[in-house]
Structure 1
Amino acid sequence: MRRPVGPAAPPLPEVAPAPGVRLGHWRDGWEPDPEAETAALLAVNGAAFAHHPEQGGMDRADLAARMAEDWFDPSGLLLATDEATGDLLGFHWTKQHSSTLGEVYVVGIAPAAQGRGLGRTLTLAGLHHLAGRGVGEVLLYVESDNAPAVAVYSRLGFDHADVDTHVMYRRPA
């Protein structure tokens, strides 16, 4: 799916976190213990993608390898935390491919926090981040049978892009 975010694109809605939710980014000073922050991110990712053979199995080594990539930007790894407890509720990891193209790399919401609009909020925050970096278009990959995610992305202006359909699986009937 793709969505334009440049000056000629429809304007992005404002980011409005729910009461009690704080938005920030990776290592911006909320979490005084980097190991705890890493563990929280891996726990939310593992729970959110428990069904996904690739994303759900991310461990510390995988996380470190991704963060060592040239494209990694700590300010593009957005976090939603509970203001009262400091618990990580979800995250949106953005990726900038070029000066004109960005990506919704991963959006993960803790199962206990689902249904609170965090997917929309975090996706919007990431779109604003990428637009602020000057990209004109944002792409994302999502399984077509992930109806809740497809609905969120569609309502935010994303459309199916044939050019990005890399793999299609058919489940046995």
Structure 2
Amino acid sequence: MPLDGFAGEGAPEARLPAGVAVRTFRPGEDDAEWLAVNAAAFAHHPEQGSLTQADLDDREAEPWFDPRGFFLAERAGKVVGFHWTKVHSAEQLGEVYVLGVHPDAQGGGLGKALTTIGLRHLAYDRSMPTAMLYVDADNAPAVAVYEGMGFRTHETDLMYRTEG
């Protein structure tokens, strides 16, 4: 379901869990580790959880790709979460493109901290007045985090399929 909200203006500083540091993505160096964390974080999601190196390469080749808006959270030198932002310049709209936390690091506030870091980047570094995201409506923990940060449902998309 698409949600939209403010892009971080006035948002408090991110409160990272103990021992976690955040840096930006380094194309070609972080690919394999990011793909592994993405797969673990989205094991339940057949499309996002099955991204390959070729898929990542395709996204990095897009004109919107900017590693300065792709944040990695590390603990003890290992990636434990990430927030990849996207900018839609013509619409003056920032996007929480994908946010994921490794299952071993969930429940400690890392997702909210990473969301805040990305939203502040969109608001202050990229001057985006609004941000949006897509989230599966049945992902109650993610919906709760986003709504708690001021996002509201913009529209609801339904998908149907038949078993054949």
* TM-score (structure 1 length as normaliser): 0.85
How many residues are aligned here?
158
How far apart are the structure 2 equivalents of 1:45 and 1:22? Answer: 18
Aligned to 1:127: 119
1:60 corresponds to 2:62: no
Contact 2:7/2:94 (<8 A) preserved: no
Aligned to 2:84: 93
Residue by residue over 1:110-167, the C-alpha shift from the partner in whole angstroms, topping out at 9 and shown as x without a partner, is 01111111100000000001002100100000011100000000111100002xx3x3
Aligned to 1:71: 64
How far apart are the structure 1 equivalents of 2:161 and 2:20? Answer: 38
- Opposite residue 95 of structure 2, the aligned amino acid is E
- Opposite residue 19 of structure 2, the aligned amino acid is G
Aligned to 1:2: 4
RMSD: 2.0
Higher relative contact order (CA 8 A, sep 6+): 2
How far apart are the structure 1 equivalents of 2:96 and 2:154? Answer: 14
How far apart are the structure 2 equivalents of 1:109 and 1:134? Answer: 26
4+ aligned runs moved over 6 Å, structure 1: none
C-alpha displacement at 1:24, in angstroms?
A: 1.0
Could you tell me the percent identity over the aligned residues? 51
- Opposite residue 120 of structure 1, the aligned amino acid is K
- Opposite residue 118 of structure 2, the aligned amino acid is G
> Which secondary structure state, in structure 2, belongs to the residue aligned with residue 53 of structure 1?
coil
Match of 1:144 among 123, 126, 137: 137
Structure 2 gaps of 5+ residues are none
C-alpha displacement at 1:169, in angstroms?
A: 3.6
C-alpha displacement at 1:5, in angstroms?
A: 3.0
1:104 corresponds to 2:96: yes
C-alpha displacement at 1:49, in angstroms?
A: 0.8
> Which secondary structure state, in structure 1, belongs to the residue aligned with residue 120 of structure 2?
helix
Structure 1 gaps of 5+ residues are none
